């Protein structure tokens, strides 16, 4: 069964935040005024107490499940047991969105705890398309695919990342999670124009936007150069806000989420970033309504 229909729900225009375990009790207690919440289900599945709290939050907020454990690009297939666990959680909290990454993380029974790069080839396209259909069948939901942050690529790729995403959408009708920060990070690291990348994404396919912080490091092999690491450990950088404004123009229907995973700050910092996203979005949409886009 291919799940390709547009089941995009109307999320509130207010930005949401990624909810991590250290904040969950505070969010339950204070119900901060954010539009929606997104969790990594892998943090919830092993934690019955957190599951209980998440069910409680589902009565207040639209929820999204953003998995880091469905290795959609693994050559040796999907982890069926993990998909069954995810399906239980989907049935329990009825998320408005379910998403994962254009990457792989499992090999021969080992889970490598990272989002690893894929070669962009016809073989990979066939593997990802097949697994996407399997994941959607198992979860009973559309499965949004997020563009990765990249540090390295493969010389035998026959497509660029953008061409691959375009081909994936054309072949499967899937929806995309456009991570604006990842576009900026990958553009910097791999030497392409992030605005040109953004222009090439099929606009109708984009159902969610992500924003997160990165960490610049010295690029050891190139004196004076930096590489950007997608750490989700900082505030969103100014040039990413600029790129986000353009993303709002192109994908005005897509709700926005703030991600922060490492060196987690006070909850108020996250909600402040979400408020900033709301201001950027509203300003940009106002400009567009005035016909200046």
Partner 1 sequence: MLALAELQAGVRRAVVDGDPSAVALLLTGGGDPRRRLGIHHRHYVTSLTTALLTRFPATVWLVGSDLVTAAAQLFIEAQPPTRPCIAEYGDDFPAFLASVPGASNLPYLEPFARLEWHLGRLALAVEQPALDAERHTGVVYLHLTWPVDALISVFLTGTEPDQFELRPEDIWLEVRGARGELRMTRLSPEEFARHHVRIESDDQEDIAR
Interacting residues with partner 1 (CB under 8 A): 42-43, 45-52, 55, 67-70, 73-76, 79, 81-82, 84-85, 88-89, 92, 104-114, 116-119, 121, 123-124, 127, 150-156, 189-190, 219-222, 225, 227, 229
In the complex, least distance from residue 116 CB atom to partner 1, rounded to whole angstroms: 6
If the CB atoms of residues 67 and 256 are measured against partner 1, the closer one turns out to be 67
In the complex, least distance from residue 76 CB atom to partner 1, rounded to whole angstroms: 6
Query: Which string of b and e fits 247-261 if b means at least 16 CB within 10 Å?
Result: bbeebeebbbbbbbb
If the CB atoms of residues 5 and 155 are measured against partner 1, the closer one turns out to be 155
If the CB atoms of residues 74 and 172 are measured against partner 1, the closer one turns out to be 74
In the complex, least distance from residue 69 CB atom to partner 1, rounded to whole angstroms: 3
Contact between residue 168 and residue 124 where contact means Cβ atoms under 8 Å apart: no
Q: What whole-number distance in Å separates Cα of residue 86 and Cα of residue 270?
A: 26
Q: What whole-number distance in Å separates Cα of residue 1 and Cα of residue 10?
A: 25
In the complex, least distance from residue 185 CB atom to partner 1, rounded to whole angstroms: 12
Tokens representing 68?
A: 């880091």
If the CB atoms of residues 95 and 117 are measured against partner 1, the closer one turns out to be 117
Q: What whole-number distance in Å separates Cα of residue 16 and Cα of residue 37?
A: 5
Compute the CA torsion angle 70, 71, 73, 78 (nearest 10 deg).
Answer: -80
Query: Which string of b and e fits 209-236 if b means at least 16 CB within 10 Å?
Result: bbbbbbbeeeeeeeeeeebbebbbbebb
In the complex, least distance from residue 238 CB atom to partner 1, rounded to whole angstroms: 24
If the CB atoms of residues 220 and 238 are measured against partner 1, the closer one turns out to be 220
Instruction: Count Cα atoms within 13 angstroms, Cβ side, for 184.
Output: 25
In the complex, least distance from residue 190 CB atom to partner 1, rounded to whole angstroms: 6
If the CB atoms of residues 199 and 217 are measured against partner 1, the closer one turns out to be 217
């Amino acid at each position: 069964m291919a799940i390709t229909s547009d089941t995009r729900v109307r999320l509130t225009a207010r930005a949401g935040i990624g909810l991590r375990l250290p904040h969950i009790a505070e969010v339950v207690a204070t119900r901060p005024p954010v539009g929606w919440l997104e969790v990594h289900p892998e943090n919830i599945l092993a934690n019955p107490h957190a599951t209980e709290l998440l069910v409680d939050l589902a009565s207040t907020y639209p929820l999204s499940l953003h998995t880091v454990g469905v290795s959609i690009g693994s050559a040796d297939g999907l982890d069926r047991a993990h998909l069954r666990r995810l399906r239980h959680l989907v049935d329990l909290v009825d998320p408005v969105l379910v998403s994962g990454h254009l990457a792989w993380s499992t090999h021969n029974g080992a889970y490598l705890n990272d989002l690893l790069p894929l070669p962009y080839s016809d073989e990979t396209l066939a593997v990802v398309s097949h697994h996407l259909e399997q994941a959607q069948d198992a979860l009973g939901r559309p499965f949004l695919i997020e563009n990765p942050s990249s540090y390295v690529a493969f010389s035998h790729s026959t497509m660029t990342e953008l061409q691959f995403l375009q081909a994936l959408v054309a072949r499967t009708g899937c929806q995309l999670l456009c991570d604006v920060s990842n576009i900026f990070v990958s553009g910097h690291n791999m030497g392409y124009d992030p605005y040109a990348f953004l222009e090439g994404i099929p606009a109708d396919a984009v159902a969610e936007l992500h924003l997160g912080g990165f960490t610049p490091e010295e690029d050891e092999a190139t004196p004076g150069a930096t590489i950007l690491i997608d750490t989700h450990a900082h505030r969103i950088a100014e040039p990413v806000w600029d790129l986000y404004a353009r993303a709002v123009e192109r994908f005005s229907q897509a709700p926005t989420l703030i991600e922060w995973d490492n060196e987690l700050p006070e909850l108020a910092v996250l909600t402040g970033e979400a408020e900033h996203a709301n201001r950027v979005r509203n300003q940009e949409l106002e400009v567009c309504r005035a016909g200046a886009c």
